[in-house]
A and B are shown apart, each in its own frame.
Chain A
Amino acid sequence: MPEKTFHKAQTIFEKASGVPSIVEAVQFHGVRVTKNDALLKEVSELYKSSNLDELVHNSHLAARHLQEVGLMDHAVALIDTSATSKEGYVVNFLVREPKSFTAGVKAGVSTNGDADVSLSAGKQSVGGRGEAVQTQYTYTVKGDHCFNISAIKPFLGWQKYSNISTTLYRSLAHMPWNQSDVDENAAIFAYNGQMWDQKLLHQIKLNAIWRTLRASRDAAFSVREQAGHTLKFSVENAVAVDTRDRPILASRGILARFTQEFAGLFGDASFLKNTLDLQAAAPLPLGFILAASFQARHLKGTGEREVHILDRCYLGGQQDIRGFGLNTIGVKADNSCLGGGASLAGVVHLYRPLIPPNMLFAHAFLASGSVASVHSRNIVQQLQDTQRVSAGFAIAVTYSSLRVTVAIAVTYSSLRVTVAIAVIYSSLRVTVVIAITYSSLRATVAIAVTYSSLRVTVAIAVTYSSLRVTVAIAVIYSSLRVTVVIAITYSSLRITVAIAVTYSSLLVTVAIAVTYSSLQVTVTIAVTYSSLRATVAIAVTYSSLRVTVAIAVTYSSLLVTVAIAVTYSLAFVFKSIFRLELNYTYPLKYVLGDSIMGGFHIGAGVNFL
């Protein structure tokens, strides 16, 4: 539909509630593997839209849902008028399906404060109905390992956000708070769904975990006597109301979640654990955000044995009560922390967004919490008596959907290798291109920063034989292009300033693309008017491999060039949202024997109190 002009939905939205509409057809462009019945479930509700306003709104919801359930990487709805009837409309979805395979490498900081590296691989929409398979292997500098494989199947349908998933994992981790190591082999089956008009989130989890606790030489006997193999089978049920604007560092809204875990039908562990999480955030004047979090946990053993040390409540660390060692608040034996049977924690935050907003924040906090022992007779009294308080300030960073692309191109004509690395964060894109050419040893570093549809490019080229530095600044905005090239050549001191203004009509490009499954063939013909130059380029793309053949005919000196390029590109996508915090903490109130960690520390993770 290149001959038509489409406008943004805002131009008519909320002005067309009186315009009747009949959806005549829904068309998808770009579908290869997605099953027909899956698409049908996703869009059948569109046919029920009675007026244009509703249709615009529903089309938008449908496009967003297609992406959120994992059926599509990208989806845009275009509403077109029907050729046959005045009230008829045709909804077109321009979609891009997920890559056949994704792989990633991530380096970060684990919750324990260790540096960690993880390798992941996965496949989205395996069967064409949004099913995804993910595997991940993580190891930290201190020697923790975790291998994890999970499969998730969403239930498709109009605005349905429910799924079932199975996760198998094996992990080996060191627990410095009770000076022991734990090996876990687990199978987890989960259901995520919604109730009551999608206002109440509901999760049910079945956990089967075989744990092996190994006490180190320094561990207290109270830890040592619990070492060995234990089997835990538990059922977890969680209900939540979540009106926050984003899951990490929300600026407004509340979260209320109540989780119950029951273990005891099979296995060694038998207990009932209740957890209540409350979070609230509200914007203040001058851009400040006030947020508060509260967590209460209670654990009750239901068997003959006392609740295992691995199942108890722990507090302390960068994610909850900052200023204390990770999971070290509560009853201690020698240097080992034994955890407790109940805990209370609350943190009050004040945030101020910095630049860029929604990514970098100044942060001040006041945290308080206490843990009661598993044998405590008067839990309330003990929680009151052993309260800890800390305060501090921090710089918090959040990031989401960061994408790094590495493309390696090898061109035959004069042996040229190009490595391009692109980092894409939301609508900001930074590209670094390094090109090495064989014959005259030439290295080029080009840095391009693209923000929305504005693009600024700076290219620096260093050529071995005759030092040449080129700075090209191109400002491209939509179809108007202004280029400024400044070239400094060493040998014969040449300074060139070229200004080019291109406005679409000078250049004629015809592109024909034939797509079959994941094989794509593109033929590009470019005719440049001024010095009569014709280029024919044929590109064959299969998955992430691309072969290009370009033939250029230049009139003035009748030159025919044939260049063959092979490009292989690999994309690493980090979809997980993440928060990093560098804080300075000062413990205000503590109990003798606590492992106090004041000063500067780094915290990272997803679940911050």
Chain B
Amino acid sequence: MQKNDQALMYDFADCLAVQTFLRMTSLPFNVRQRPNVDFISPDGVIPLLKINKTLITGFNAIVDFVHKKGVTLTSHLSETQVADMRANISMIEHLLTTVEMFVLWKHDETYDKVTKLRYGSVYHWPLSSVLPFLKRRKVLEELADKDWDAKTMDEVGEQADKVFRALSAQLGTQKYLTGDLPTEADALLFGHMYTLITVRLPLTNITNILKKYSNLIEFTKRVEQQYFKQ
């Protein structure tokens, strides 16, 4: 993640998750970065997969689409394991993404020093100041809808800890969350873990909490080694 990159932590994590998933399934693809991707996406959801004239948005929809075409990473799993995997995905998507949104948009120092610059980086002045302001207002409304607006940084840290603890327990000493073979949950987990470990933010407490769970860190290094360092 470069400093002049527009993608925000959770968007970057989702993009990385989709890339990891496609690499896991060995499907060919190439990656394009566009400054106006949230407008190209018909429903504003990122990332966006384009196959000929079909546009698929979001991690889950892409996984479903690939599944419908007959490519799947979950054929070896029992129904209970699939349900567990879905629960993990849901936890990462809802809880962890909200934690990341909170840090980026609610925490003033992070907003001023990172989010604002990064989000506005693809626009010329005065849009580079106006658009982050408008986006912040929208995200804060979303957080308020989830009753997250009154939370303190410590409470948000606890939520993050809860997610990491659950995922760490699930992983244990296994290679992947559900055993020796990767699933889409692993792709999503890797996307978020890698982003949290590598991102440089003024606020370090989420990363510090993550460092307590050494098996998650090991998992991230392992997946990176296997799918991105060849």
Contact = CB atoms under 8 A, between A and B. Distances in A.
A33 interface: no
B136 to A, nearest CB: 16
Contacts of B53: 221, 334
Interface string A188-215: 0000000000000000000000100111
A266 B40 contact: no
Contacts of A227: 36, 39-40
B202 interface: no
B34 A225 contact: yes
A213 B38 CA distance: 12
Given A221-B50, A221-B53, A229 B40 contact: no
B129 to A, nearest CB: 12
Contacts of A224: 39-40, 42, 55
A228 B35 contact: yes
A231 B123 contact: yes
Given A266-B124, A267-B124, A268-B124, A229 B131 contact: yes
A217 interface: yes
Contacts of A221: 50, 53, 55
| Contact size range, B | 10 to 19
Interface string B43-77: 00000001001010000000000000000000000
B127 interface: yes
Contacts of B127: 210, 229, 231
Nearest to A224: B40
Given A210-B127, A266-B124, A215 B39 contact: yes
16 contacts: A213-B39, A215-B39, A215-B40, A215-B42, A221-B50, A221-B55, A224-B42, A224-B55, A225-B40, A226-B36, A228-B36, A228-B38, A229-B123, A229-B127, A231-B124, A231-B127
Interface in B96-138: 123-124, 127, 131
A334 B55 CA distance: 15
B2 to A, nearest CB: 20
B147 to A, nearest CB: 30
B29 to A, nearest CB: 17
A224 B55 CA distance: 11
A231 to B, nearest CB: 5
| Contact size range, A | 10 to 19
Interface in A215-274: 215, 217, 221, 224-229, 231, 266-268
Contacts of B124: 231, 266-268
Give the residue among A225, A226, A266, A334 with the most B Cβ atoms within 10 A: A225
Nearest to B37: A228
A229 B35 CA distance: 9
A214 B38 CA distance: 10
A228 B39 CA distance: 5
Nearest to A212: B39
A285 to B, nearest CB: 58
Given A228-B35, A268-B124, A217 B42 contact: yes
5 closest A-B pairs by beta carbon, nearest first, are A228-B36, A227-B39, A228-B39, A231-B124, A224-B40
Contacts of A229: 36, 39, 123, 127, 131
A148 B223 CA distance: 57
Contacts of B50: 221
B200 to A, nearest CB: 27
Given A221-B55, A227-B40, 14 more contacts: A210-B127, A214-B39, A215-B39, A215-B42, A224-B40, A224-B55, A226-B36, A227-B36, A228-B35, A228-B38, A229-B39, A231-B124, A231-B127, A266-B124
Contacts of A267: 124
Contacts of B39: 213-215, 224, 227-229
A214 B39 CA distance: 7
A267 B124 CA distance: 6
Interface in A162-212: 210
Contacts of A210: 127
A215 B38 CA distance: 11
B217 to A, nearest CB: 37
